Structures are given as structure tokens and as C-alpha cells.
Amino acid sequence: MKCEICHKNEAETVLFRDKPGKGREELYVCRACAEREEAFGQERGIQVAAMEFSPDELPPGVNPGLPPGGDDEGWSPPKPPPEALNELGKMFGQLSSLLSEAGGNPDEARCPKCGQALEEIRASGLMGCPKCYEVFREAIAPLLAELNDCTAFGGTFGVAKQASGRERLQALKAELAEAIKREDYATAKRLKAEFEALKRSLGGAEGAPGGNYGA
């Protein structure tokens, strides 16, 4: 979503402007405009209150960003009503899915948890949060292959985490069914290979408790 003030940059934050006599106004703005509003809003007789999105509440495709100055101790506005946020979240979610159906640029995709863009990851090799690995799994696979000459971890874990392995197995199964449903056989083939490999590794670990995972 574009900033509602400059109409150029991506909106990162929502501002709540209290205009005397006109009630409360909500604006979705970029960081630069938010900073400007915060600095000069009062001089123009406008009370500016702002908040950052909580990453958990973010709809996909919207960058939460950090508060101006990077420190939210100096950026502590009043909270908006949660039901308003929920409504907005739903609206953004619908808008985002419409955009992606219309063939949006995948490089502009952002992690819903931390807001890190795929483009930034490609440029710097730096991830934003553990969730980024899941969200951009397919996009980072070639990067990992280039860096390591392999795409799967060949080392050992300190302690077994079988539950997450089984969860992953279930998720792969669902993804596989989905891929077959939409007749994406290339993806289905890759998912099946991954599913079989994971199933084998989990089976081995069950046979020999701690064997593969003991440090």
C-alpha cells in the first residue's frame, strides 16, 4: 500500500491525527512522512498520535517497519481500538491476496512476522526472523545452494525435536496435496522427495533414540 501523504513510498505505519473540531483521522503513511508529521504536526495546530503495527497483527505484504528514531520509548502514542485494527487487517489481507492474484512482483513480498523484504534478503544475505525461512523457503533455496553446495542440513542437533519434525511432515503432506490439486507437478515432485527424505530420517531416529541427534 502506498503512503497516503506522498503517494510514493510504501506505507509502514498508521498515524492518528486529532484535528480540532473534525474528529480523528487515520492515515497510512511511510516512515519519512510519519517523522515529518510528528515533528511539524504540532506547529500546524494538529495533534499527531502514531503507532507502529505489531508484527503479529500485520496482514501479509505490509511492512511494519520500526518507529522513527529506532526507539519506541520516544514513540509511545495512544493505542487505537483493537476492533479497528482487526477490520483493517482483514481489509489489507483481502487487498494483498487480490494483488498477488493479479501477478504482483514476488521480490516485493515481505515476511508477515518481521517485515523483511525478499529483495533485502537477496541483497544482503540477512534474514529478519526465523519465520522468514518458512515464508521465503523457495526463494532462498538457490542462495543456500550457492553458498553451501547443498540445501539440506547435514549436521546433527543437540536434542531431538521430533514433534516439529512430525509437524513438518504433516505440513509437507498438505502442501503436496495442494500442489497436485493445482496440477503443479514440478513442485509436487520436489515436495514428495522432501517428504520421503524427512520420513526416512524421522523413522531412523525413532528406531535409535538419540542416535542421529545426540551431540
Partner 1 sequence: MALKDDLTPMPTERGQICLCAQFAFVRNLEGMPFPDRMSDAARRRRSKEVIKRLQACALNFLDLTDELEAFNTHLHVMLLTAPESRLPGYALLYLAKPEGVEAPLWCEVMGANHLAFSVIASARQLSPADYDRLAEQLQRFVDRLEPVLNFARTEQLGYLTRQLTLTGSGFRLRVWLHLAGLMHFDHLRELENAANFSELRIDTNNDTGTQTPPGALCILFNGRSLRYNAVEETRTLQRFLGSIIRQERNARERVLVEEPYVLLDIVSRLQATLRVALMITPDELSDCLSDFHLAWDLGVISPKHRPRSLPPMMTALTFDDNHLSEPICRDLLERAYLPEAVRSFPPWFKAAARATWMRNNLDFSLSRDFKRRAMR
- Under rule CB under 8 A, residue 128 binds partner 1: yes
Nearer to partner 1, 95 or 114 (CB): 114
C-alpha–C-alpha distance, residues 33 and 15, integer Å: 10
Contact 116, 127 (CB under 8 A): yes
- Among 17-25, 85-93, 156-164, 179-187, the segment contacting partner 1 (CB under 8 A): 156-164
- Among 19-27, 28-36, 94-102, 129-137, the segment contacting partner 1 (CB under 8 A): 129-137
- Under rule CB under 8 A, residue 126 binds partner 1: yes
- Among 22-30, 42-50, 66-74, 79-87, the segment contacting partner 1 (CB under 8 A): 66-74
- Under rule CB under 8 A, residue 68 binds partner 1: no
C-alpha–C-alpha distance, residues 104 and 97, integer Å: 10
Which grid cell is 146? 550457492
Q: How far is the CB of 21 from partner 1 (least distance, A)?
A: 34
Binders of partner 1 among 159-188, rule CB under 8 A?
159, 161, 164-165, 168
Q: How far is the CB of 56 from partner 1 (least distance, A)?
A: 10
Helix, strand or coil, per DSSP, at residue 49: strand
Burial class of residue 122 in the structure, from the number of CB atoms within 10 Å of its CB (0-12 exposed, 13-18 middle, 19+ buried): middle
Q: How far is the CB of 169 from partner 1 (least distance, A)?
A: 9
Which grid cell is 154? 547435514
Which H helix or E strand runs over 169? helix 162-181
| Residue at 54: amino acid letter | S
| Residue at 5: amino acid letter | I
Alpha carbons within 13 A on the beta-carbon side of 152: 7
Q: What is the DSSP letter of 13?
A: E
Binders of partner 1 among 105-124, rule CB under 8 A?
113-116, 121
- Under rule CB under 8 A, residue 73 binds partner 1: yes
Residues that bind partner 1 (CB under 8 A): 52, 55, 66-67, 70-73, 113-116, 121, 125-130, 133-134, 140, 143-144, 147-159, 161, 164-165, 168, 194, 198, 201-202, 215
